[in-house]
Amino acid sequence: MDSREKVSIDKALTRLQNLCARQEKCVWDIMQKLKLWGINNEEAQKIVSMLVDEGFVDDRRYAQMFVREKSQLNKWGSIKIAAALRVKKINESIIKEALLELQPQFDRATLENIITTKANQVKAKSPSDLRAKLVRFGLSRGFELEHVVKTVDMVMKSNMTDEA
């Protein structure tokens, strides 16, 4: 379908019901799709309300799924996950509730795993250069500075004892 082609309200609702039955979507995703299809804002709000009432769209359910997926599959930290959910206009209380699902020990194990892997891949001129690169990498993945620094120091200390 050409994205400039206007879609009827009934056709849009049917398409979105099918889409939401296959894949979890948030209200923001649905609004973007409706805007792309040329549906005006008032009609879009009605469609979204119908989808929410029928249980096709639920931001809370979406946020919980998003947190699980991004933490386990993409190895993202809580800061990056929260930022991505904010971009999708998810309510702050829903974000906090969904992030409670992240277990701190899993978060730390993930961070240690990705830092160790990255340490073995990165070319650095000096230990301080390596440390800076690893800290930047950990932060870019959305982990807290304090945890990143501790993990990088632990991994570097471990690598030095392995080399000796």
- pLDDT one digit per residue (tens) for the chain, 164 residues: 444 567 788 999 999 999 999 999 999 999 999 999 999 999 999 999 999 999 999 999 999 999 999 999 999 999 999 999 999 999 999 999 999 988 777 788 899 999 999 999 999 899 999 999 999 999 999 999 999 999 999 999 987 776 65
The residues spanned by each domain of the chain are 9-53, 59-99, 104-163
pTM value?
Answer: 0.87
* Helix, strand, coil % over all residues of the chain, rounded to 5: 75, 0, 25
**pLDDT at residue 150, rounded to an integer:** 96
Sign of CA dihedral 25, 27, 30, 36: negative
What are 26's two structure tokens?
């948030």
pLDDT the model gives residue 1: 45
Q: 31 with 48: CB under 8 angstroms?
A: yes
Residue 107: both structure tokens together = 């978060």
pLDDT at 160: 74
Q: Give pLDDT, residue 5.
A: 63
8 Å CB contact between 128 and 135 = no
Kindly state the tokens that stand for 93: 């209380």
Report the 3 state secondary structure along 31-66.
HHHHHHCCCCHHHHHHHHHHHHHCCCCCHHHHHHHH
Contacts of 25 (CB under 8 A, 6+ apart): 16, 19, 57, 62
